[in-house]
Amino acid sequence: MAGLEELLDTRIRSVPDWPVPGVTFRDITPLLADPAGIPAVVDGMRAGLDGLGLGDVDLVAGIEARGFVLGAPLAVALGCGFVPVRKQGKLPGEVHSASYDLEYGQAVLEVQVGAVAAGHRVVLVDDVLATGGTAAAAAELLRAAGAEVVALAVLLELPALDGRARLDGLPLVSLRAV
């Protein structure tokens, strides 16, 4: 795992005061551009999930947008399907939706009705766990669709913002705390 730690330390950039003053954005673009980046992240997330002893997973749900980039290859590695959790207005047809607070505003997440079936065991994936609002809303959304959300996997966790507190005990795999 030393290779993963080095990649995370050297390929994730902190951008202060973006998108608004007081927020530090974690830019994972250099990590994604490194050919070793995505495979190392997927291997790290898979190892963390294996360590939880979850058993079979039916779907990986990736939160827009960077959760797509990490979640789709994780779904391939786990041998399961992938479903996108999108921002409001991005999906055709009937949708389930959940609103939530961000560090710097409010937003709505949606998933298509029928994308997740009752009883599906789902791993939720995002890039960063900050205040936990996005992850909590996505988990609520998937549960409303009938899924069992079995874990959340993230690249980075910002412990100072206590996002875990909003997860109601949902098992968490975090590759790095910053």
Pairwise CA distance, residues 57 & 51, whole Å: 14
Tokens of 139: 């988990």
- Catalytic hit among 5, 11, 86, 103: 103
- Catalytic hit among 6, 11, 13, 66: 66
Give the angle 110-153-36 at the CA atoms, nearest 5°: 110
Half-sphere exposure of 177 (CA within 13 A, CB side): 8
Beta bridge partners of 123: 60, 151
Pairwise CA distance, residues 163 & 132, whole Å: 4
Pairwise CA distance, residues 32 & 70, whole Å: 9
Is residue 103 annotated as a catalytic residue, yes or no? yes
- Catalytic residues, by residue number, are 66, 103
